Each structure stands twice: as C-alpha cells, then as structure tokens.
Structure 1
C-alpha cells in the first residue's frame, strides 16, 4: 500500500459529507429483500457497501449501479426467482456489517452458504449465531482465525435470547430476517443494550420499507412473520461518523463548513456533536451546513463511547489537545474492529506527542499544548485511524508520513480528494528514499 507525506496546514472551505455507510447497508438490504424495484439515491461505493451489494446479488437480487444511485430488483420479485444460487459464496471483504447482517438473512433462503472475507474479519466473534444454529439444528462449520463459514439449513421463527453488550449487528441481522419467516418471533435482550442508535437505524430503515417491529423499550422486539419489504425511492443521508473528522478539524482551528447532515438523524455517531460541545465548542448552523466554532480553551471531559465507537479515534485526537485529563470509557469493542483501535490510537498519537494511557476498555488522555509531528505513523490498515492521523497533521508542527493510507477506501474513498480540496497538502512518499 502507499504512503503520504502530509504537511501541516489548516483546512478551509465546504465539504459535502458522503452518505451514511450504516444507512446504505440497511437501505440496500431492505430493497434487495423486497418484491419490487427500489431506487437507492445518494450512495457512495466504498469497499464495505460494494461487499453488501455483491452479497445481496449472491442471494438473487438484481442490482444496477449508476453514478450515485442504485436500481434494485428485490429477491422476491418474479424476475429474481430464477437467480437464486443454491450453492452460493458471499464475499464480505472486510465488512463486519455485511457478515453479521447476512448470516441470518442467508438462512431464510434455500441452499448452502459460504462466507469468506479478508483482514481481521475472521477474528470477529460469531458465537451468538453459532448458539442459534445449535438450537435450531442448522449445520455449520468454520475455520478459527480466518473467515470461512459454511451454513446449511433454514432459520425458523421463535424466541431468540441475545445479550445486549454484544455487537448490535447480531440483533439487526435477526431483525432483517425474521419478518420473512412464516411465524411470529421475539428477540429478548438479556442485558443492558449498547449501541441503541444502530438498532434505531435498522428499525427506521425497515419501517421505511414497510416492515413493522414492536420495540418494547429495547428489552424485547416483537416481530410479526409473513411480512413483505415494499419497493421504495430511498435517499441515504449524510454520515456523522465521517463528518466527525471535519468537525474535529474545526475544533482544532480549521474552518470547514460541513453540508448534508440531518440534524434530526438517528445515527448514534451524531453523539459527536454533544461530545464536542462538552469540550467547550459551539456548533453553528450556517448556510444549510454545520461548523464548529471553538472557544478559547478546549476542556477535558468524560466520554462514554459505548453508543458511538466509530468516532472515538478522532475524538481521542481532540482530547489530546484539551486542557486536563479526558477519560474515554466503555470502548473495549474497539479492540476487534479493523485493528485493535485502542492500541493503534495510543501508539500513533503518542508518536506525535500525545500523552495517552491505554486500559482494557478505556483511554486516559492528558492534554498537551501541541503535537510535534516529524515522524512516520501507521494507519494499521484501518480507515478510521488513517483519517484521524490526516486530521492530526493539521495541528502538527512538522510534516508526518502516513503509511498505508489507501485503506480509507473501506468507508470514504474520496476522503483525500476532499482533504485536498480544503487545502490539505500532501504528496506520495517513498519510504525507501
């Protein structure tokens, strides 16, 4: 992979935030499970979304890609019935959402499934589904440490007990699948539910496509069987997890207007707004966009990252420049993302001069006055670490070299185009020189 040398420079201008990856996954899945033709507008073809598109094609949906929208003929349409492969391979690439959403969905349809992928995807636990397979006598096999999961057998309706402190993707996967079964089902959450925002996104998308779920205070979900996903003209809203990078850039002295954000969004990563306000900034709505107006000093705070894990890397950058001690708690799940993000955040920001103590499921950050730069840092081949380090360059005293920058294609392929359009200054760097 490639390396960039990025020179310290504040960003200035207007950036249209790419569409929400979380909502795009959900929109594509709901449309593909329908029995008509849907149009999904404002879509960006990141690696993860391409994985979900191809996964739904594997199940029989006809999906036509245009520049920034999709036409999707649902699996249950007459013209798709003949497309269903009874011995299918679903390549999830490095997308955890694709994997965990599609495992139960694939078991709604006749045939055998094989799930493959790359990177750390094989290390992400799937025990929740294995327990369901054991209970329902669905055949399965897998390889430890590598994604090569095979399943055979149909998912049956009934009662499903799931812990609330596991990934919400397991719950969403079942929510997508269960309305298509012949009988009614219930999902019972046995502990406090984390990442409620992601469940809200799933329920919202399903509701938009005509599926009714009863949510009893996130303690149980009642799912009526024999429901049908309707065809819809659906627009994907802007992504708060990507907006977070430019909101933090503003917090640290840049002047970027961020457009296409829904201020009433259900996205859990909208929490970035509240976090930055606690750090002593003002959020201003200007010309149909959002920008951060920093006050004289950034303040330390306590941040619970359980509902917004994806913004924690760039929030850690902001915390590194806050006066005092910031604690970021309940973020143990960051260890099983594309990399061990707690370790990566600590390692790479420390190279720049930050003072961070890494705990098992938290970070303790003592603010410093400035970041030095003048060093080589590594993305750990994780898109959110690469983008965080790019924003860090704007407040460094010297240039930095980022190794393996191209991993941003996983969620935000045009990140460096946007970064450059805002005045970011970088060039390719050969580490062998």
Structure 2
C-alpha cells in the first residue's frame, strides 16, 4: 500500500516509453530476417512479459543500457508464452506463436485467464490450431494457416493486431471486421510499426458496401532495424497532464510525439476542452491552467483514459459524463465499477447508467482508503485524487503500478508530490 497526501507535483519530467509501441516493435524485431536494436529507456512488467515470451519462442533478447538487442532465432519445436498478467502480450502472441511453432504452452496469471479470447480462438481453430482448453493455461498444437479471417470489432482490437503480426509467417492473410472497429488507433499503431519493419498492410476502410479489412501479402517479411526509437507513452503522460489540470501548477513532459497515432493522445483535446492550455515546444508538452469545464468523453477509442479522467472530473464543479465504456468491464478489473467505487470511497459522487459513468465534481474529496483492485490505472487515479483530498489517500494494491510504470511513485515525489509506502 501507499499513502498519498495533497502535496502538489510541478516541474519537468521525462516521458516513459510507450508500452503499446514497445510490445509491437519487440515482436516485429523478433520476427525479422536480421537482428534489431531498440532504444528503450525503461521497462515494465508488461514489457518484460513480452520479452520473456519472445525468448520462449526462440528469439535472443537482451536489455542492457537502455537498449534492447533482439536476434531472431530458429523456430522451436516447442515454444512457451508467459504473459503473466499482460493482456496485450497474450492476445498479440497467441497467433504469432502458432504461426512459428507447432506446439506452444501458454500460461497466464491474475485475472488474465478470464479475460475474453473469443472470437480469436475460434478463428485460429478454423485455421489449423487446436487448444487443450479454451482459457489459459493451455497448449496450442498445429501451425496457424493464412487466408481469410473474420472478427467482430467491439471486443478487442488486439485480436486484429495479433493476426496482422502473424500474417507474414503464414503466407499472408486478410482480416475483416464484421462490426465497427473500436480502439482502431491501436491497429493503426500496429500497421505503422509493421511498416517501420518492412511489412506493408493494405487497409480497406468500411463503406456502405464494404466491410473494413486489413491485408498482408503472402511474400511479406519483417526486416531488422537499428536504433529504433520507442515513442513516449501517452497513456502515462496523461497522469502528469491531469495532475497539472487538477492543481493549476504546470508540468512539462519531455520526449513526446505530437503526431503520434497512439489512441490516448486524445487526452490533449480533453485538456483543452476542460479549459487548460496545452503548449508544445519541440517534443516537450506543457499543461498550464486549472481545468474548469466538465468533461464529456466517448470512451470507445480511449478506454484506458477513464480512471485519470475520473480523477480530473472530481476536481471540476459540475457533472462530467463518460459514455460507451462497455469494454472497460473486460480490463484488469471491471474498470467501470472499480472507478465508481474508488470515487465513492474517497468521498465523491458518481452514478452508473448501463455502460456510462457520470461524476458530479465539487473540487474536494474526503480522502481515506481506496481499493485499486490490483489495477495499475486505478493506482494512478487514486494518486491523482489525493491532490484534492482533505485527508491522505491510502491505496490498497498500489504495487500494481509496476505493471506499466514501476518508477511512478519515485517520479511523483521527484516533482514535489508525497507518496510513501505503508
């Protein structure tokens, strides 16, 4: 547990590497025709899970002095995927592992075995793969065959990304979305990273007569890259942007890409709509001014931003609304319920209507103990809520922060905040 007071962070902080980008770059490198070096200033449990799993599939992966050296290896007769609690690692690597190994053991921890894998498993079964059971731990047998895949777009965009990354190893594939694709920016991040490593994805947008689809040619091959830079992470940069917006004390985050395709870059517009100024200076972004206008956000394309936006909403007088959050129920926790409970536990006012959440902010919370339900994004939200709390906030399961941002509390204190283990 950690106890967090309302001491205010301000100043300048370096961004951490984008977890979503790192997963995809490491995978492309491991599948390449030659070695790669990837510039990665920090790692996390989720990124470590992907590196461990790539080793389990035959790649040689070494992280040293802020550089990951990835040397593709020969396909193993029996591979192993060890995602720990990383849903991204599991969903991306299932089809990839099956595209290069005939037999793969897959493990998982925490809530991950219960998170949805359909319809991807059914599509993989239809393309040559059998499973010892339908949720991990399980063993996959048989090589994934290319061809045409159909997938609903409202469960996880990671299903599309995993199949696209697997496609070059199984002589090409077309993946068609049978419903509108949610979190489509993450698929764009996948196709952009694949292009960086030499594989072009042909995208056909949806129209009145055509469903959205993605095609990888049969002769596509990943190529190794040297000194490949991982972008700064918008998901975690949002913590600092929201802290500045909640307190009115400016924070500058360095090493960010204004033109990133990461989904959570949308937090910029949330800041502006809430009444803050967002100032760019090269690759540095600064948030100035205190948020004063309630938030009205559609969560379909940025579901991971709900927890920190909920903290921001508590600091703004009036009712903020967060709609279309159904997929948040499938995360590390049921994040709709978990966020609502955290707000209530710390003295805020919130109501749930189906998959929508409404927070009536007053600018002040009571503080007390909040349950982060072993969810790293709830740890971030609870820490932010301490900024407007009359009493310290004690965060249960605060250790979950190591999933994505192991040095978060150190960075928080470095900027003048006060978070201490208890």
Name the TM-score, length of structure 2 as normaliser. 0.95
**Shift in Å, 1:286:** 4.5
Change (3 A) 1:109 1:251: same
2:234 to 223, 226, 240: 240
Change (3 A) 1:427 1:188: closer
**Per-residue Cα deviation, 1:344-394 (whole angstroms, up to 9, x for no partner):** 111111122211112331101112131121x11121111110111112112
**Per-residue Cα deviation, 1:53-105 (whole angstroms, up to 9, x for no partner):** 0111111111111031101112xxxxx22xx4322321110000110011100
Counterpart in the other structure of 2:271: 276
Change (3 A) 1:265 1:371: same
Aligned residue runs from structure 1 range 31-430, under 5 A: 31-74=29-72, 80-81=73-74, 84-142=75-133, 147-182=136-171, 184-217=172-205, 219-233=212-226, 234-253=228-247, 254-286=249-281, 288-295=283-290, 298-373=292-367, 375-429=368-422
Indicate if the aligned counterparts of 2:120 and 2:151 stay in contact, CA closer than 8 A: no
Return the alpha-carbon distance in structure 2 between the equivalents of residues 405 and 236 of structure 1.
26
Which range moved further: 253-262 or 306-315? Answer: 253-262
Which range moved further: 316-325 or 417-426? Answer: 316-325
**Shift in Å, 1:137:** 4.1
Indicate if the aligned counterparts of 1:24 and 1:43 stay in contact, CA closer than 8 A: no
Return the alpha-carbon distance in structure 2 between the equivalents of residues 393 and 371 of structure 1.
8
Change (3 A) 1:360 1:86: farther
**Shift in Å, 1:322:** 2.1
Change (3 A) 1:43 1:346: same
Indicate if the aligned counterparts of 1:180 and 1:226 stay in contact, CA closer than 8 A: no
RMSD across aligned positions (CA): 1.5
Indicate if the aligned counterparts of 1:53 and 1:63 stay in contact, CA closer than 8 A: yes
**What SS class does the counterpart of residue 372 from structure 1 fall into?**
coil
Q: Which sections of structure 1, spanning at least 5 residues, go unmatched?
A: 75-79
Change (3 A) 1:288 1:180: closer
Indicate if the aligned counterparts of 1:51 and 1:95 stay in contact, CA closer than 8 A: yes
Indicate if the aligned counterparts of 2:100 and 2:169 stay in contact, CA closer than 8 A: no
**Shift in Å, 1:226:** 2.6
Return the alpha-carbon distance in structure 2 between the equivalents of residues 5 and 139 of structure 1.
47
**Shift in Å, 1:287:** 7.2
Return the alpha-carbon distance in structure 1 between the equivalents of residues 242 and 272 of structure 2.
11
May I ask how many residue pairs the two structures share in their alignment?
415
Return the alpha-carbon distance in structure 2 between the equivalents of residues 141 and 124 of structure 1.
17
Counterpart in the other structure of 1:77: none
Q: Which sections of structure 2, spanning at least 5 residues, go unmatched?
A: 207-211
Indicate if the aligned counterparts of 1:11 and 1:394 stay in contact, CA closer than 8 A: no
**Per-residue Cα deviation, 1:206-225 (whole angstroms, up to 9, x for no partner):** 00000011011261112101
**Per-residue Cα deviation, 1:331-351 (whole angstroms, up to 9, x for no partner):** 111111111111111111112
**What SS class does the counterpart of residue 179 from structure 2 fall into?**
coil
Return the alpha-carbon distance in structure 1 between the equivalents of residues 12 and 402 of structure 2.
21
Indicate if the aligned counterparts of 2:315 and 2:388 stay in contact, CA closer than 8 A: no
